[in-house]
Amino acid sequence: MAAHTESPIPAERRLRPAIGAIPLSIAVTLFVLCTANQSFWHKTAAYFSGTVGATAVFGVGLAALLSAVCIMMSVRFLTKPLFIFLLLTSAVASWFMDRFGVVVNVDMIRNAAETTQAEASNLITPAFVWHLVGFGLLPSLLVAWVRIDHRPFFAKARMNAAFVLPLLLVAAVAATMQMRLLASTSREHRDWLASLNPVGPIVSAIRYGASTGAEKDIAVQSLGADARVVAAAGRRPRVLVVVAGETARAENFSLGGYARPTNPELAARDVTYFPETTSCGTATAVSLPCMFSVYTRDSYTHRKGLETENLLDVLSHAGIAVEWWDNNTGSKRIADRVGYTFLPKSADPRFCREGECQDGILLDRLGPWLDGVTKDSVLVLHQLGSHGPAYFERYPDAYRRFKPDCRTAELADCTAEEIVNAYDNTIAFTDHVLSAIIDELQRRQDQLDASMIYMSDHGESLGEHGLYLHGAPYLIAPKQQTQVPFVLWLGGQDRAAIDRTCLQQRAGEPASHDNLFHTVLGLMSVATSVYERPLDVLSECRHAPSA
């Protein structure tokens, strides 16, 4: 009888080390908690008032809980894809959380999903790539390389239970010891658990996916179908240019008292500035639709914005010609039912590079458009404005007034002074764009009754409180992200109808995105049941019509 010989182990298997599913689960959990949660642990220490013991107990409990979850999910054929997904997700999210101080919530994911390739490319810097390689790709390749020893089903279930139950017990004991602290911290600091990586981003992505799926069957409800223009016949066409600004914060507008001369051209024109204006949100995907909706910030939701017609629709119902020119990432469905032009598609070499255009392209087309106006019209100009982090790409060299300015999208490579200089240059260029729009309108005062409104969608953080860019949850967002510039220029006809003393007094009072809808209707002399006079910033200052 021939002697039994064992099958030789393939060389490929000998070269690949083996590891059990349980130790791999614990290793991945600890790696992510230690390398991808700088912001979370910083907030934990701060919110726990620096209590080392409480932070340590919480950390042990959290590690035990997440390890138990990973062990329960470490089933054959799922373990490696799951852990690779967690590692890559954590690496990407931690870059933006730790570098810019953002929270990857539903609004942030919506903003990212609706961005353009050109805008996204500004964030894909060499430093980001190296971070992704070091903390995401290389650990993922290691997970893919090792062999996982999976036991038979029932043996695996017994072994998993032997680890999971004690881990859950540790987590429960840790939570019980600090129940009051955990409850108060999560209640008072909504950003805390949302910063836990990758749990927060994954939960937000699931919520975003669920809401997006539910939005597919939304039917838009009519708004202001009774709208009509109430104005004398035989008059000149009334034109309003609404400039939807991007990422401009009120703090850096010299019209509002900023020490640097960022608004020299507007200061030389007869404009009214509203220094106490707040935004509806801290990201374009929220603020822009809210600005043009009939809802106030307190009552606005993303779904309401989608299922209800907006300001542009009401103007159209009144017979006013409406157009939207976009030099940003789209109208967020605001302009779905009016004339729409996406300017970066023109690739005009005078203004555009790599899918983005400086706002000078708006001025290039405005004059010919105004010359063709024959009826009451509203033109919305959606700026690229001051969108970061590549501030230096938002203005031509002629507007490098504040130097040295940060000349890279990698803000970590610049000093605080260079970042502020670059940002202030974007504001100075916006000042020029707005002033040039006013000049174009003023030149046609004999043919048109023209006015302009400028209002930014949200502000920007430039390192204050360790935050950069925008998109912080509104409840905790600093004023740099929620206080925005609001500029009003009235043409001759509108100036004559407004009490200037009253307007200056009104400008010193609080304003917000809530005012845009009704102020535009008032300027365009639109009567409709959805107009709310108290929200029109000009309503109290209009001269009573003569008998």
Of 75-84, 445-454, 519-528, the one with minimum mean pLDDT is: 75-84
Of 163-172, 227-236, 289-298, 398-407, the one with minimum mean pLDDT is: 227-236
Asked if the structure places residue 281 within a domain, the reply is: yes
Mean pLDDT (the chain) is 92
Q: What is the arithmetic mean of pLDDT over 483-511?
A: 93
Asked if the structure places residue 2 within a domain, the reply is: no
Q: Are residues 437 and 501 in the same domain?
A: yes
Q: Are residues 195 and 267 in the same domain?
A: no
Q: What is the arithmetic mean of pLDDT over 542-547?
A: 64
How high is the pLDDT of residue 395? 97
How high is the pLDDT of residue 547? 40
Rounded CA separation 281/215 (Å): 20
Contact status, residue 136 vs residue 36, Cβ threshold 8 Å: no
Residue 232 scores a pLDDT above 80: no
Q: Are residues 367 and 238 in the same domain?
A: yes
Q: Are residues 204 and 236 in the same domain?
A: no
Residue 15 scores a pLDDT above 80: no
Q: DSSP E strands: which ranges in 119-166?
A: 147-149
- What residues have CB less than 8 Å from 322, skipping those under 6 apart? 312, 315, 316, 338, 339, 377, 378, 379, 380
How high is the pLDDT of residue 544? 67
Residue 23 scores a pLDDT above 80: yes
Share of the chain above pLDDT 90, in %: 75
Q: Are residues 102 and 17 in the same domain?
A: yes
Q: Are residues 57 and 194 in the same domain?
A: yes
Residue 312 scores a pLDDT above 50: yes
* Final residue in a domain of this structure, among 214, 246, 267: 214
Confidence of residue 546 (pLDDT cuts 50, 70, 90): very low
- Top mean-pLDDT range of 101-110, 147-156, 176-185, 301-310: 301-310
pLDDT in tens, 140-165: 999 999 998 888 888 888 888 999 99
Return the H-helix or E-strand segment holding 271: strand 271-273
Share of the chain above pLDDT 70, in %: 97
Q: What is the arithmetic mean of pLDDT over 225-232?
A: 92
Residue 11 scores a pLDDT above 80: no
Confidence of residue 1 (pLDDT cuts 50, 70, 90): very low
Amino acid (one-letter) located at 256:
G
pTM: 0.88
Whether residue 389 is preceded by a cis peptide bond, meaning omega within 30 degrees of 0, is yes
How high is the pLDDT of residue 186? 85
Q: Are residues 335 and 407 in the same domain?
A: yes
pLDDT in tens, 250-269: 999 999 999 999 999 999 99
Q: Are residues 51 and 121 in the same domain?
A: yes
Confidence of residue 8 (pLDDT cuts 50, 70, 90): low
Range of the domain at 118: 11-214
pLDDT in tens, 367-413: 999 999 999 999 999 999 999 999 999 999 999 999 999 999 999 99
Rounded CA separation 162/160 (Å): 5
Asked if the structure places residue 340 within a domain, the reply is: yes
Confidence of residue 299 (pLDDT cuts 50, 70, 90): very high
Count up the domains in the chain and report the number: 2
Q: Are residues 335 and 466 in the same domain?
A: yes
How high is the pLDDT of residue 13? 59
Asked if the structure places residue 288 within a domain, the reply is: yes
Q: What is the arithmetic mean of pLDDT over 420-447?
A: 97
Asked if the structure places residue 297 within a domain, the reply is: yes
* CATH number of the domain residue 397 falls in: 3.40.720.10
Q: Are residues 189 and 234 in the same domain?
A: no
Asked if the structure places residue 268 within a domain, the reply is: yes
Asked if the structure places residue 546 within a domain, the reply is: no
∠ CA 276-277-278, rounded to 5° = 125
Rounded CA separation 447/453 (Å): 20
* DSSP bridge pairs for 271: 489
DSSP calls for 48-90: TTT-HHHHHHHHHHHHHHHHHHHHHT--TTTHHHHHHHHHHHH
Rounded CA separation 305/27 (Å): 44
Of 231-235, 399-403, 413-417, 453-457, the one with minimum mean pLDDT is: 231-235
Residue 7 scores a pLDDT above 80: no
CB burial of residue 403 (10 Å; 0-12, 13-18, 19+):
exposed
Q: Are residues 309 and 441 in the same domain?
A: yes
Q: What is the arithmetic mean of pLDDT over 465-482?
A: 92
The SS3 of residue 221 is strand
Q: What sign has the CA pseudo-torsion 488, 491, 494, 500?
A: positive
Q: Are residues 299 and 165 in the same domain?
A: no
Residue 6 scores a pLDDT above 70: no
Q: What is the arithmetic mean of pLDDT over 322-339?
A: 96
Residue 241 scores a pLDDT above 60: yes
How high is the pLDDT of residue 9? 55
Residue 208 scores a pLDDT above 90: no
Asked if the structure places residue 222 within a domain, the reply is: no
How high is the pLDDT of residue 373? 96
* Final residue in a domain of this structure, among 214, 247, 266: 214
